Amino acid sequence: MRKYLIRDGDVISGAAIAALGVYIISVAAKWDYMSIEGPGPGFFPIWYGIAMVVLSLALIGSKYLKPAVAVEREPIDWPGFSRAFATWLGFVVCAALLKPLGFTISFALLCFFLVAYVFRRPLRVALITAVVSSIAFYLVFSVALNVSLPTGLVGF
């Protein structure tokens, strides 16, 4: 039964996350860890990468330490898989739209898509959620914290 662990989703995702953590650590190690003012630009990514590696190895280890029992494989939840993939695709499209549309509009479109398609809520609820969330992010970051968000061709 242990030979099938290499095809287990937790083992595969744990290995991928561990590899990503190692990459983050290797890139962040080239940055200043500490500066005169305090933690440098490499401080957070290094610790984030370390946490990713440790937790992903713990996930893999938990699979190997579990007693091997014959488990009936559950069928793949294709509707759930398609919604998860659509969520990932929505984030990719949102990131691609940041430059031409700006954060406020691209984030509103992402929220609308997630609420309407992934969570299957009425379009009115999705629209209200998108507008309120986008305005809230703008008020918190741009107004209250004075952090500049990406602006698009329309200026916000």
Identify the CA nearest to 57 among candidates 7, 1, 13, 23.
13
pLDDT at 127: 98
pLDDT in tens, 47-66: 999 999 999 999 988 888 87
pLDDT in tens, 77-132: 888 889 999 999 999 999 999 999 999 999 999 999 999 999 999 999 999 999 99
- Specify the pTM: 0.62
Distance of alpha carbon 7 from alpha carbon 60, whole angstroms: 12
CB burial readout 29-63, b (16+ within 10 A) else e: eeeeeeeeeeeeebbebbeebeebbeebeebbeee
Q: How large is the average pLDDT for residues 2-23?
A: 82
Band (pLDDT 50/70/90 cuts) for residue 149 is confident
pLDDT at 122: 97
